[in-house]
Amino acid sequence: MQIKTQFCIVLFNTIVLASHAHEKVDVFKPDTHSHVEFGEAKSVRYLLYDVNPGEGFNLRRDVFMRVANLVKFLNEDEPWVLVLPPWGRLYHWKSQDLNQIKVKWSTFFDLASLREHIPVIEFEDYLTVMGEEVVEEIYYLQRYKEGWTNGKWEEKMDIRDCIDRVPYQKDDDGKWRGWFFGYENVYAKKFACLSVQSEAGNMKSFLMKNTTSRSVMLDRAEQLIHGRSGQHSTNYWDARRSMVFAKHLRDIGDEFRREYLDSTDENDKTVLESWTQMKKNHGDAKGGPYISVHLRRKDYLYAHKEQVPSLKYAAKQIKELLKKNKVKKVFIASDCDENDFETLKGFFKKAEIYRYKPTQEIREKYKDGGVAIIDQWIAAHARHFVGTYVSTFSFRIQEEREILGFDPETTFNRLCSESEEECEQPSKWKIVY
């Protein structure tokens, strides 16, 4: 079911929340298409969420889309703001010399673009608005202990005893303490475990009927599925398109493209417009005169060793793509070390092989996550992209290329290993407007 975007603007058109000491942010963006009449004024409520600590950056982006669309549906009936969980302590962020907790979303994403989809606010700004470091209720999402009923998945949710050990404890004052993104003084007033088998959007009824708290947190939000707001829906793609990378990261990627890859948006037909107005057809984008490759190594060398090619075999496939696309440059986005990168380069005699190497200033300012986004941005603009088997890093690049208007044949590809008799290529998850 397609649900039309409706933001509460009649009574909340001028709601303004403090976002730093001297800055103000309109978290409710006017929607020119439709209005919701609330009648009597309702207080703004805040939805927070967190994700299993082991999940990576790009899976967390997917969970954001699920929760964002829940907030979209909530705003059909009453005003809710999504509190963006600070980034930090991610498995793939290996740089020990960087301070990588309490990282704001504005480091990585354009908040104005996010607010074109739903009202959002940074966690620090939420604390300012609340006037104290508190979350009123936490629901810790978990599976059903008994599993599926009769072996079938069915939509349901129930307050249950906690199945596993939870990362929250009640102190002597009755306050629930735990990990709140590195903010040590934050506490929760109430806590409960909630067994769920549910689409994210169907949490709306629970939140509206079972709690009146001003702020509610859903921990382990990855337990919720997209369901009807999945990749074949406009809801999914509206949320995904709103996740525009921060301009400072795009600018760095664009400068690298110009300097090393002879690539500009004007020549490549990849000029970025406001996502609410930008509707590209497949084939509109040409891409820069280079091949981009996401070559994942490290954990994949043992987690997916049957699908990871040797460097020599990867080079063989890249050479074939260079010849097919009549280009001479390759951009490599990879977690491989410098020795592996030099080994890969050694298999090429004529082609120019590049990777992005950030300065220390860039690393300190934008962290490992920002460097990864710069890689993705450069890779997304290539004439032809080839990724890594079931990698969410590759998935996000493929989505970026769908948004920019590339031919799917140049996007949904992956490297094969020598041991694969049949090298199945990625599913073509095409954009929906």
The 10s digit of each residue's pLDDT in 54-98 is 999 999 999 999 999 999 999 999 999 999 999 998 988 989 999
CB neighbour list of residue 255: distance below 8 Å, 6 or more residues apart: none
Q: Which of 23, 37, 40, 55 is catalytic?
A: 55
Q: Which of 7-11, 16-20, 87-91, 396-400 has the highest average model confidence (pLDDT)?
A: 396-400
* 264-321 per-position pLDDT tens digit: 999 999 999 999 999 999 999 999 999 999 999 988 988 898 999 999 999 999 999 9
Nearest alpha-carbon partner for 414 in 286, 317, 312: 317
pLDDT number for residue 20: 42
> Helix (H, G, I), strand (E, B), or coil: what is residue 284?
coil
* 121-133 per-position pLDDT tens digit: 999 999 999 999 9
Give 90-105 as a 3 state SS string: CCCCCCCCCCCCCECH
pLDDT number for residue 28: 54
Do residues 68 and 82 make contact, with C-beta atoms less than 8 angstroms apart?
yes
Do residues 64 and 229 make contact, with C-beta atoms less than 8 angstroms apart?
no
Burial of 108 (0-12, 13-18, 19+ CB in 10 A): buried
pLDDT number for residue 178: 97
* 135-170 per-position pLDDT tens digit: 999 999 999 999 988 888 899 999 999 999 999 999
Angle at the Cα of 274 from the Cα atoms of 62 and 407, rounded to 5 degrees: 65
Do residues 200 and 229 make contact, with C-beta atoms less than 8 angstroms apart?
yes
Nearest alpha-carbon partner for 287 in 259, 327, 251, 228: 327
CB neighbour list of residue 277: distance below 8 Å, 6 or more residues apart: none
* 375-396 per-position pLDDT tens digit: 999 999 999 999 999 999 999 9
Q: What percent of the chain has pLDDT over 70?
A: 91
Residue 171 in this model has a pLDDT that exceeds 60: yes
pLDDT number for residue 26: 57
* 188-214 per-position pLDDT tens digit: 999 999 999 999 999 999 999 999 999
Our answer to whether residue 132 is catalytic in this structure is no
pLDDT number for residue 199: 96
Decide which of 37 and 272 is more confident.
272
